[in-house]
Structure formats: C-alpha cells, structure tokens
Amino acid sequence: MQYTWKIGGEAGFGIMTTGLLFSKIAARRDHYIFDFVEYPSLIRGGHNAYEVNVSDEPVSSLKRDIDVLVCLNKETFDLHKKRCISQAKIIFDPEVFTPEGDIIPIPVPFTAILKELQGQVIMKNTIALGASLAILGADLSELNSIFEKQFAKKGEAVVSLNQQFAQKGYDAVMNANKEHVISVLGKKETGKKLVINGNEAFSYGAVAADCRFYCAYPMTPASTVLTTLAAWGKKTGMVVRHAEDEIAVINSAIGASFAGARSSVGSSGGGFALMVEAISMSGITEIPIVVFLSQRPGPATGMPTWTEQGELLFAIHGGHGEFPKIILAPGDHKEMIELTLKAFDLADIYQVPVIVLSDMLLSEAHMSIQYDEIQGEVNKYVPNRGKLIASADETYKRYLLTDDGISPRLVPGESKTYYQSNSYEHLEDGHTTESDTERIKQVDKRALKMQKYMSDHFVAPTIIGDINSAQTVFVGWGSTKGVASEAIKQATELGKKAAYIHFSYMYPLDKNKIKTLISDSSKKYILVENNSEGQLGKLLQMEIGVSFEHKILRYDGRALTREQFIEKI
C-alpha cells in the first residue's frame, strides 16, 4: 500500500527540514519512502510544500492522491485540496481557518500551543510532526531520539522543549480524534534504510570512487553536492573548492586531474554552459574529468527550482570540435551511486570527459534504499584508473598511438622524463603540430577509444516489465525510470500489458544493441520525456534511425506522473 503525507506552509519556516524528518522516521520504522519538495526560488515568502509517499515496498515516485495534508496555512489547503482523496485527513489550526469539503478535519490548536509553551512560529513544524505521527499510528520514539541527537550540543532544555511541542501535537490528535488514527507507520524490521537524495548519492559515490578534488560554483539544483562534499571534507580529505566561476571550476579540476588526482565538477545547465570550452580541452588533452550536470528548466535562468530533462542533447554536444565523451544518466538513487563509481572509472580508462546527468527531481527527491544493497558494492569497489602510470623512461610519449587508442598517462613528477598535455593538436610526444597526417592520426586515435568502450563498457537499455507480451512500450531515460517503474507495476495490476525501455548509458550508443529493442512493428512505442522537444527521440533518430509517432512530453517544470503513462496504455 502507498500512502501520501504532505505538508505545506510559508517558505522560510522549516518545511523542508520537517519533511525530511518525516521521511527519516518512516524509514526508521522500516517503511520505504519517495519524497519531493516544491519551493520557489526565494528564501522567504511564497509557498513551500513537501510530500512523502510511504510504502510497504520499494517506491520510486510520488502518487496522484494525497491522504493526509498538513496545512500550516490556508493557502496549503487551497492549493492542494484538488489532489486529496475523498475523506482525506486535513490537519489544520482552527484559529487560522476551517477546511470544508469531503474531508476528515483534524484540528490541532497550533496557535494555542505556541502561546502556552511560548514557542517561536517555526515550532509549528514540530507540533505538526507530532500530530502527523499520531494520525498515522506511530509513536514519538524516533522523533524524540532524533531531537536528542540533533540538539545534544544545545543542552537538555532545548531537547526537552522540542519534545514537548511534538507531544502536544500528538496529544491533540489522540485526545480528540483517536478514531481516525490509521496504522500506516506501524513498526517493522526489514533492515537499515538510507533516506538519500540524488545529489547525496552522487556525493557518496564520488567519495567511494576516491575522487580527491571537487570544484564547483553554487547553482540550483546542483549546489548541495558542493555543500555535502565540503561538509565531509575534513573526514574524507577531499579538497572541495568553491571557485570564482564555472570556468575556473573546470579548468582547475582539469589541472588537478593532469597532476594525478581524480577530479570532478558539478553545476546546472547555465554553469555547464560556461564549462564547455574546457570539456573540449579535456577531450583533446585526454585528461579525465567527471562532470555532474543537474538539469532544471531553461533556457537561461529558466525555472531554477523545478524539474526538466532539457539538456540531454546539450550534454552530448557540449564542447566545440569532435572528440569522444561519455554521457550517463542514472535512473534512480541507487543507480546514481553505481553509475558515479562507473563514471570515474570510465573517465580514467578512456581519458575522456564523462558527464553524469541528473535533474531537479532526481537531485532533490529522497528515496529510501536498503543499506545492504549498496554497502556491499561500495565496499568491494576498487578504483580502476586505466592506463595511469607512476613511472616511465626517457622514451615516454603522452599521446602514443596504441591498438585501442588509449595511451599510458604518466603522473607528473617521474624524474626520468617530462611531457606536455596540449590543447593544440599534437604529435605523439605532445608537441604542437599542424601536420595533416599527424592530425588524422590523433583524431582517429581519440575516436578509436570509443570502439573499445562499445565492446567493454556500453550497457544496453534495461527493460522493465514483460516486453514480449507488452502491446505498449514506453521509451525514456534518466529520472523517468522511477515513475515509469511504478506505472508499469500499476498497469500490470490492472491487467494491462506494457513495458518500459530505460536508457542510462546515453552516449555514445551501440546501434546494434538498441535497434532490435525498438523495432517490433506489432508494438506501440511511446517516447516519454520531461522536456518539450523529445531529445532522446531526436538522438535515436540521429544515431539509430528510428522515429517515434507517439510521445508523452511534459515541460511545465513538474515531474511526470504515473497517470500520464496509464492513460496511454
């Protein structure tokens, strides 16, 4: 069963912290969650909302209906009542407004409690959490222990005060509305779960991958990679640098990579736009770099705090001139960790830029994942640095022509030799050249690397659902996986025959492994993307020669929903 709790209120009053606490409590009580936040690009004012979908089974998207809505102001009810189920439970402050309609009102005297305990407005969140846990059949044990840890440094009095607010909210429900309590958050024992968002998953993967240098300039929705890695810096030893602009960001990271450190950068589309000249340099100098690109609706400043998959083709074509690069687009949080580990290896093995595509939805939504599912993978991971070498003799050539196009890459400092990495076209030894024959040799050498990638590392799209029986086959990429998986599950339960083909290895593409997947004339293929142009569709047209007659394209800044899939089957 899936059950949606949502809280809303004025921006700047702790909604995001409260929502995340709710998710963590649900996960601590061994339920699975998927959550997402709605907020304007403001610090104060405007409407904030946080929605958590709680489930007995792994869950990877939000659902259509809201079961419990916590309204810290009237606007919350007005904005979200249309998504509430019949007899949805509405938690509200009777001193502020009274909700009407086909609902179960759960009044909680927020204002009165604040007065009684002389609390600040922000404590409404704590009251709301207490009330929410009560109505969903949980006790306050997890919340109380979180307070003990969170406020340990501030002393017993602060811990106790927070606990009192939560208790007041809890009691308000239990005293007056006990008959409406539903056992959603009963405690189970299914193993430790992490509540992690996509940016944290990338950060965690980067540390596990032994990335030693991360450089960025803040840009929503990529900024929290910078802040997460910076917060960990003292522990991990990673040098995390907030540089003056995105151009400095990537050139510094390429400098660090040249010197031998695994290096990475991150931004959203606007910052990425400033980086593309250096991505091209990474291509010709053959210096590895991992670029985290979290998309948001563009063009230009666009809608900073909303979601879109609008930069697939930009990522693929980012960088002037012709050079190989690899684009990966993880579909969910677990895949984000796996593909981040892979991205650092691929950058080193092929000495190319590797772009990891995320978007606002994947970057900021939290998902619960079983810790043991990733712990093993991370612990057994050993960085594969490809042909990176620590010593060489006088005959060393940085751009040596080899059978696979990949030349040994020497860490600067070996005393027997030296070399230059050159952004000009160069000879095998790195010196600048304008020779026609040498030019062809180096262009071909760089291109050759991707032939090896195709045979050794390219992974064909994954299939969700039974493709053999499916009449309708959806085709998508990146964060669409979450909602598509849920939609296919739901469709199957409804007796409908559908499947989903998911792309994570976006570029380059192996034509032979893909064409057969989308060429059964008895099936209806539907392209599904969170953009207006159908960029994967264009890519497949260009690379594979297939085109899509049917499309679901969403570009209002909101995430795709299961219902958009279901109604097309």
CB nearer another protein, residue 251 or residue 363: 251
Q: How far is the CB of 297 from another protein (least distance, A)?
A: 28
Which 3 state secondary structure label does DSSP give 282? helix
Q: How far is the CB of 431 from another protein (least distance, A)?
A: 5
Q: What is the CA radius of gyration of the chain?
A: 26
CB nearer another protein, residue 388 or residue 517: 388
CB nearer another protein, residue 314 or residue 371: 371
Token digits for 424? 């000009």
Q: How far is the CB of 210 from another protein (least distance, A)?
A: 5
Q: Give the integer Cα–Cα distance in Å for 401 and 461.
A: 32
Phi, psi of 234 (to 5 degrees): -60, -40
Q: Give the integer Cα–Cα distance in Å for 488 and 495.
A: 10
Enumerate binding residues for another protein (CB under 8 A).
24, 27-28, 192-196, 200, 204, 207-208, 210, 212-213, 215, 232-239, 241, 243-245, 247-248, 251-261, 263, 277-278, 281, 285, 371, 375, 378-379, 383, 411-424, 431-432
CB nearer another protein, residue 287 or residue 536: 287
Q: Which long-range contacts (C-beta less than 8 Å, at least 24 apart) are formed by 232-238?
A: 232/203, 232/207, 236/207, 237/212, 238/206, 238/207, 238/211, 238/212, 238/213, 238/214
Which 3 state secondary structure label does DSSP give 66? strand
CB nearer another protein, residue 215 or residue 343: 215
CB nearer another protein, residue 46 or residue 255: 255
**Contacts of 128 by beta carbon, 8 Å cutoff, 6+ apart:** 7, 18, 70, 72, 91, 108, 110, 169
Cα 243 to chain centroid distance, Å, stands at 23
Q: Give the integer Cα–Cα distance in Å for 325 and 152.
A: 48
CB nearer another protein, residue 263 or residue 530: 263
Q: How far is the CB of 204 from another protein (least distance, A)?
A: 6
Per-residue exposure over 388-411, b if at least 16 CB sit within 10 Å of its own CB, e if not = beeebeeebbbbeeeebbbbebbe
CB nearer another protein, residue 155 or residue 412: 412
CB nearer another protein, residue 306 or residue 323: 323
Token digits for 339? 């593909």
Phi, psi of 294 (to 5 degrees): -100, 115
Token digits for 410? 């020497």
Token digits for 4? 């949606």
Q: How far is the CB of 143 from another protein (least distance, A)?
A: 14
Q: How far is the CB of 106 from another protein (least distance, A)?
A: 29
Intra-chain end-to-end CA distance of the chain, in Å: 23
CB nearer another protein, residue 215 or residue 528: 215
Q: How far is the CB of 429 from another protein (least distance, A)?
A: 10
Residues in the chain: 569
Q: How far is the CB of 196 from another protein (least distance, A)?
A: 5
Q: How far is the CB of 195 from another protein (least distance, A)?
A: 6
Q: How far is the CB of 294 from another protein (least distance, A)?
A: 19
- Is residue 88 within a helix (H) or strand (E), and if so which, with residue range? strand 84-92
